[in-house]
Structure 1
Amino acid sequence: MHRTLAPLALVAALGLTACAHSLVADLDTLEGSLSGIEIMDSEHKLAADLSAARKAISEARQAYAGGQLAEAKALTATAQEKVNGAQAKQYGL
């Protein structure tokens, strides 16, 4: 029985690892997007939106570091919404 469960545990662990790496990459991409928005926001009209997005990214990273993958995924989705909102405001949408 151990021989059949071990491969399943490995597959599950690899799946979580792949998901986690994807999550980190998503957070890195969101931070890059924020940096681009900040550069274009010379009048600092989006400062509050950018701060909220950065906070959401930070909270997602903290949840990930604490091993709370489900919470990190939810916070990443929140961060994505905040970045999208800032981009929409930047372009007047």
Structure 2
Amino acid sequence: MDIERSISALNNPMRRRILEWLKDRSNFPPALPGHEDLEGVCVAYIQEKAKLSQSTISNYMGLLKQAGFVKAERHGQWTFYRRDEENIQAFLAAVKDELLKT
């Protein structure tokens, strides 16, 4: 776990908000036909909700993925993102350990 990379990824209010939104799929429109069984949220829905350009959202999601906060799954032309709860917990534990070690 690269704590510096993770903290850097969280050093933006919109990236933190995206992680918050991804906690609950109902924060986004229903999945398109044929995508109902897929985990995660289409990047287009994230872009729409954030009201940011496609390139900015792609950059943000790439940073969150590199930091281990989200997983990406490609289906045709669509990329679906979901939180990586295990890595989020590992990050929190690592920060706690670093800040509280004696």
- Rg: which structure is higher? 1
Q: TM-score, normalised by structure 2?
A: 0.31
Q: TM-score, normalised by structure 1?
A: 0.33
Query: Which has the larger helix fraction?
Result: 1
Query: Which has the larger strand fraction?
Result: 2
